[in-house]
Amino acid sequence: MRQMHSISTSSLEIAYEESGPATGDPLILLHGWPYDPRSFDDVVAQPEGAGYRVLVPYVRGFGPTRYANAGVRRSGQQTALALDVVELMDALGLPQATLAGFDWGNRSAIIVAALWPERVRALVSCAGYTVIDPAVMHLYPGTPAQLHQAWYRFVLNAPNAETYLRDHRDAFARECWKLWSPGWDFPDALFTETSRSFQSEDWVQTTLHCYRFWYGNAAGEPRLEPLERRLRSKPPVLAPTIVLAATDDPLFPAAFSKGQEGLFKGPYERRVVQHAGHYLPKEAPEAFTQALLDVRAMVQG
């Protein structure tokens, strides 16, 4: 039975859902933007039954996760999000865990695996190695086709973005869902329930900082600069990894992860998931679940 808990870290009071045996192998499922833990409702049952202790945190800025105090920067910086995962593991006394995620959650999982390899037992990645280099993004934001798909980021970099996002957060997020999952008619009830996690001012501030940092329009945290410098060299992932490449994801098409094998130095498999878009755990829960079960076998050899 799934239970809600919270635990304190240096920056956050992290709310997370837990299920499965308390002594099981830890599995941390990381959601993206603009989503929340409901992303994994269709995939947790089999991992629980297979002995995983499943932990699904609300990412900073989302739902009941709260910043520790007013002095903590409302940062969406990629290394801040990844460090949240490490600090969650520290607070729970977990030396290692299997990580799996999509969108922001995938990036966080990749970064943890690359910078703290001893903490990651195995990895399931939606889309592959999606780490951002803001210096490159600032100078070259993408091809015209990529810019067409990235429209939402440029809205969030506009001068009036804070007011706009605060006033239109649900409509903005809904449009992203529609465009990023073009072959999936998502249930309105699912969006309505998920959108409750977007209602705080922290969500607005964290969202804006994330996408402004990508393009050099918001400063990063000085304490995180050493981690960002290490990421610029694209350190490889050593943990056993299954990459899921969705054919209908307009943000990270299946071809994005093709040829990334050199960034994964441990046991590695890339699986193409047909007829799925960006919201892969919801659009193709069977493929996501199977990857969670199979990556354990890769660890065991």
- φ/ψ of 30, rounded to 5, equals -115, 120
Locate 52 and state its tokens. 């995983």
Q: Along the 301 residues of the chain, how does pLDDT read in single tens digits?
A: 789 999 999 999 999 999 999 999 999 999 999 999 999 999 999 999 999 999 999 999 999 999 999 999 999 999 999 999 999 999 999 999 999 999 999 999 999 999 999 999 999 999 999 999 999 998 899 899 999 999 999 999 999 999 999 999 999 999 999 999 999 999 999 999 999 999 999 999 999 999 999 999 999 999 999 999 999 999 999 999 999 999 999 999 999 999 999 999 999 999 999 999 999 999 999 999 999 999 999 987 6
Q: What secondary structure does DSSP assign to 224-282, as a single string?
A: GHHHHHHHHT-PPB-S-EEEEEETT-SSS-GGGGTT-GGGB-SSEEEEEETT--S-HHH
Look up the pTM and report it: 0.98
- Summarised one tens digit per residue, pLDDT across range 20-38 is 999 999 999 999 999 999 9
CATH of 3-300, one of 3.40.50.300, 1.10.3720.10, 1.10.3300.10, 3.40.50.1820: 3.40.50.1820
Unique residue bearing structure tokens 């801040």:
80
What sign results for the dihedral spanned by CA atoms 131, 135, 136, 142?
positive
